[in-house]
Amino acid sequence: MPDIKCIGISTGGGDAPGLNAVIRAVVKTAILKYGWKVIGIPDGYDGLIYPERSRELTLTDVSESFRAEEPFSAPPIAAIRFTSNPARTATR
């Protein structure tokens, strides 16, 4: 069993109905089943280039969110297309 205290969640590519349900499930399982902290990373991998955009996601953030495909009320972590691949750009 790895030593995990906190996980991040990010999405890339286009929007898809059901995305918020995944995020809700990840946040709730991590907190309720394992007692971990969850950080929402916006804008795909861009969110890790600009870490100040990230924030903790709590149970309140994801309650009721699965019904619609609207982004969360606070800074959305719903899908925004990747603008860059931090790992691959070097070779181009």
Residues lying near other proteins in the complex (CB under 8 A): 1-19, 21-26, 29-30, 33-34, 37, 39, 41, 44-45, 48-49, 51, 54, 66-69, 79, 82, 85-90, 92
Tell me the C-alpha distance between 86 and 91, whole Å.
11
Tell me the C-alpha distance between 82 and 84, whole Å.
6
**Beta carbon nearer to other proteins, 41 or 61:** 41
Minimal distance in Å, beta carbon 42 to other proteins? 12
90 in Cβ contact with 22 (< 8 Å): no
8 in Cβ contact with 39 (< 8 Å): yes
Minimal distance in Å, beta carbon 44 to other proteins? 7
